[in-house]
Amino acid sequence: MAPYDSDSSAGEEDDFTETNVLLGYASKDPKDESISRLGGRPEWLDENAPPSAALARCNVCKDLMVLLLQLDGELPDRFPGHERRLYVFSCRRKTCRRREGSIRALRSLRIAPGTAAAAAAREKKKKAEEQAAAESKSKEEKQTPKPPSNLGETLFGAQTIGSSSGSANPFSTGASSALGSNPFASSNPFSTETKPEPKPTTPSPTITEKIEALPKTFAETLSLNSPQPAAASPAPPPEPWPAAAGQPPPYPVSYLSEAEYETLDPLPAPAVPRAARVDVDAAEAGSKGGSGKEDREVFESSMDAAFQRFADRLAQNPEQAIRYEFGGQPLLYSKTDAVGKLLLAPPTPTTNSSGGVGINIASASASAASGGAPGMPRCGNCGAPRAFEVQMTPHAIAELEADEVSLEGMDWGTVVVGVCARDCQARGVDEEGRVGYVEEWAGVQWEELTGGGKRR
C-alpha cells in the first residue's frame, strides 16, 4: 500500500491509487456496527463506572456538552489486550463556538487481566532469543582460526625477539635465574614511601541529625521554615452525571457502519474559472504580452493551497464522515491557523554545551519512531508523544444537523484528535480489568470568515 502524505503536490498524486487512510461513512442502518457512530448519548465501556461528568463539560461556559463521535478504537496488533474507545464532545451554545475548550476529546481504556504478564513474557522471550543469537555469534567468532602472531618463526624457523625459545633478556626483571638476579631490580630503601594508615572516616551528620541535635524550640522553627516535600494531592472525586432529562438534547444517531480505504483518482491541474477576474497591470501585460499561463499562475497564487487541497481530497469521496489512520498525518483545512501552525512547526532549536544552536534530532526521531506527531502537545497523563488517530470532516456536520431547522449550525472545518502514542492508562487505575478515562487533544480548525463575514 502506497504511503500517504496529506501535503503531497498535485504532480505526485498521479501515483496514488489507495492510501492508508480508512474512511468512515454514516448510515441510519447499524448493520453489524453498534459502537462507532455519530451523535446519540455515549456508551461507556463499563456503565457502572462512567467518567467524571467534568470531562464532558465545556471549558468556556461549564455546561454539559453533547456527543459528536463515539469510535471503537481497538488496535489488537498495536495494543494487544487494550479495549479502547474515543469520544468527541461539543458545546451546543453558539456563544462558545470558535473558542478553545468548546470541543473536547476523551479516550477510555480497559486492559484485560493478564495483559501485563503476557507482555512481560513476550519481552523475556525476545531478550532470551537476542542473547542466544549473540552467544551463537560469539561462539562462531571464537571457532574461526586466527593467523599466528609469530608468523616469521612459523614460516622460516627463525626465532623472533621475545619468543620463549630465544635467549633471556638480561635487563628483564623476570630473567632466568642462570644469569643471576638483576642488582638494580632490588628494592631501593630510599624509594620506599611510608604511607600513613588511613583514618577511619565517620559519616558527616545529615541535616536531619543536625536539626535533632539543636535545642527543641530552635529545631522546630528550623524544621518549619525548611521546604517540605509536597504530598501528592488526591484526585478530586468524580462528578456524577445528571439524569437524561437534565442533559442537553443529543444529536441524531448515524452509525459508521461502512468503511473503506481511501482511493484517489489523478487530479488535473486547476483551471481558471471563466468568471474569475485577474488583476494584471495593463502596461506590464502589454510589454510582456501576457499569456493564459501567466494569468493562471497569478490566479493560483491567490488561492489558499491548503484549503484547496483539503476540498479536492474530500471531493473524491464526498460522503466521508471521518478519516482514520493511527500514527498518520491529518488532512489540514488550513496551514495558517493555530492548529495548522502547531502541526507544521519545525523542531524546536536547542542550545548545546558549547553555546551553539541545533535541533534535538534524538527527541524528534524518538517521537516519530513511537508514532507520535512532533507538533502535537505531549500526553498530559504520562508525558509520551501524541499520535494522530482520527479527524471529523464537514460531512459529519450534515449528518449530525440533519434535523436542525436553524441555518447557523456548527462551523468547524475539521476536528483533529491526537491520542497518547503509548495508550497509557489513567492515573490511579492500577488494577487490570478496570476502566480509565484520559482527556486527549482535540485540534479544531474553524471555517474561515471572508471579508464580507461569510464562512468558507
pLDDT digit string, tens, across residues 109-129: 999 999 988 888 888 898 989
- Least Cα distance to 63 among 92, 94, 43, 86 occurs for 92
**What one-character DSSP code corresponds to residue 255?**
E
- Contact indicator for 249, 276 with CB cutoff of 8 Å: no
Res 424 pLDDT > 50: yes
What's the rounded Cα separation, in Å, for the pair 421 and 105? 15
21 Cβ partners below 8 Å, 6+ apart?
A: 4, 261, 262, 323, 324, 325, 328
What's the rounded Cα separation, in Å, for the pair 435 and 94? 33
Q: Which residue has the cell 490566479?
A: 299
Whole-number average pLDDT of the chain: 77
Comparing 117-126, 168-177, 312-321, 446-455, the range with the smallest average pLDDT is 168-177
Provide the pLDDT for residue 282.
Answer: 45
452 Cβ partners below 8 Å, 6+ apart?
A: none
Q: Which of 260-274, 292-306, 411-425 has the highest mean pLDDT?
A: 411-425
Q: What is the pLDDT of residues 55-100, one digit of tens each?
A: 999 999 999 999 999 999 999 999 999 999 999 999 999 999 999 9
Phi, psi torsion values for 98, nearest 5 degrees = 65, 15
- Least Cα distance to 86 among 389, 385, 445, 380 occurs for 389
Higher pLDDT, 12 or 339: 339
Higher pLDDT, 164 or 408: 408
Res 30 pLDDT > 70: yes
Res 388 pLDDT > 90: yes
- Contact indicator for 92, 126 with CB cutoff of 8 Å: no
Higher pLDDT, 53 or 153: 53
Q: What percent of the chain has pLDDT over 70?
A: 61
pTM for this model (two decimals): 0.68
Res 208 pLDDT > 80: no
Q: What is the DSSP string of 335-368?
A: SSSHHHHHHTPPPPEEE-TTS-EEE-HHHHHHHH
435 Cβ partners below 8 Å, 6+ apart?
A: 44, 45, 46, 49, 108, 109, 110, 429
Provide the pLDDT for residue 307.
Answer: 93
- Contact indicator for 64, 93 with CB cutoff of 8 Å: no
**Sign of the torsion angle spanned by Cα atoms 256, 262, 268, 270:** positive
Q: What is the pLDDT of residues 216-268, one digit of tens each?
A: 554 444 444 544 444 445 667 899 999 999 999 999 999 999 999 999 987 66
What's the rounded Cα separation, in Å, for the pair 322 and 319? 9
What mean pLDDT do residues 1-28 have?
A: 67
Provide the pLDDT for residue 147.
Answer: 63
Return the half-sphere exposure (C-beta side, CA atoms, 13 A cut-off) of residue 81: 14
Res 287 pLDDT > 90: no
What's the rounded Cα separation, in Å, for the pair 379 and 439? 9
Q: Which of 161-165, 176-180, 301-305, 364-368 has the highest mean pLDDT?
A: 301-305
Q: For the CA atoms of the chain, what is the radius of gyration?
A: 36
Grid cell for residue 97: 463556538
Provide the pLDDT for residue 393.
Answer: 98
What's the rounded Cα separation, in Å, for the pair 42 and 70? 7
Longest CA pairwise span in the chain (Å): 116
